[in-house]
A = this chain, B = another copy of it.
Amino acid sequence: MTRIGILGATGYTALELIELLLRHPGAEITALTTRQEGEPHVASVHPRLAGRLDLKLENLDTADLAARADCVFSCLPHAASAEAIVPLLEAGVRCVDFSADYRLNSPEIYAKWYDHQHPDAERLGHVVYGLPELFREQIREAALVANPGCYPTSAILALAPLLKTGLIRREGIIVDSKSGVSGGGRTPKLNFHYPECNENFSAYGVGKHRHMPEIDQYLSQAADGPVEVIFTPHLVPMDRGILSTAYSVPTGNATEADLKAALREFYAGEPFVRVVDNPPGTKDVTRTNNCHIAVRVVRGRVITLSAIDNLIKGASGAAVQNFNLMFGHPETTGLL
Q: Are A195 and B239 in contact (CB under 8 A)?
A: yes
Contact of A47 among B194, B203, B278 (CB under 8 A): B278
Q: Determine the distance from Cα of A176 to Cα of B23 in the docked complex, in whole angstroms.
A: 34
* Chain A residues packing against B (C-beta within 8 Å): 12, 22-23, 47-48, 50-52, 174, 176, 178, 180-182, 184, 186, 188-190, 192-204, 206-207, 228, 230, 232, 234, 236-241, 243, 245, 247, 274, 276, 278-288, 290, 292, 296-299, 301, 303, 305, 307, 336
Knowing A50-B274, A241-B199, say if A207 contacts B282 (CB, 8 Å).
Answer: no
Knowing A186-B193, A188-B192, A190-B188, say if A305 contacts B203 (CB, 8 Å).
Answer: yes
Q: How many copies does the complex hold?
A: 4
Contact of A237 among B204, B236, B297 (CB under 8 A): B236
Q: Determine the distance from Cα of A188 to Cα of B193 in the docked complex, in whole angstroms.
A: 6
Q: Cβ of A299: which chain B residues have Cβ within 8 Å of it?
A: 207, 228, 230
| Nearest chain B CB to A295 CB, angstrom units | 10
| Nearest chain B CB to A296 CB, angstrom units | 5
Q: Are B193 and A298 in contact (CB under 8 A)?
A: no
Contact of A178 among B178, B190, B228, B230 (CB under 8 A): B178
Q: Are A230 and B301 in contact (CB under 8 A)?
A: yes
Q: Are B195 and A12 in contact (CB under 8 A)?
A: yes
Q: Determine the distance from Cα of A22 to Cα of B290 in the docked complex, in whole angstroms.
A: 15
Q: Are A202 and B301 in contact (CB under 8 A)?
A: no
Q: Are A279 and B237 in contact (CB under 8 A)?
A: no
Q: Are B50 and A201 in contact (CB under 8 A)?
A: no
Q: Cβ of A278: which chain B residues have Cβ within 8 Å of it?
A: 47
Contact of A280 among B12, B23, B47, B286 (CB under 8 A): B47
Q: Are A274 and B195 in contact (CB under 8 A)?
A: no
Q: Determine the distance from Cα of A281 to Cα of B196 in the docked complex, in whole angstroms.
A: 10
28 interchain pairs, CB-CB under 8 A = A47-B292, A48-B288, A50-B276, A50-B284, A51-B274, A188-B189, A188-B193, A192-B193, A192-B194, A194-B197, A194-B239, A198-B237, A198-B239, A199-B199, A200-B282, A202-B279, A202-B281, A203-B243, A203-B305, A206-B296, A206-B305, A207-B298, A230-B247, A230-B298, A230-B299, A232-B298, A234-B245, A236-B236
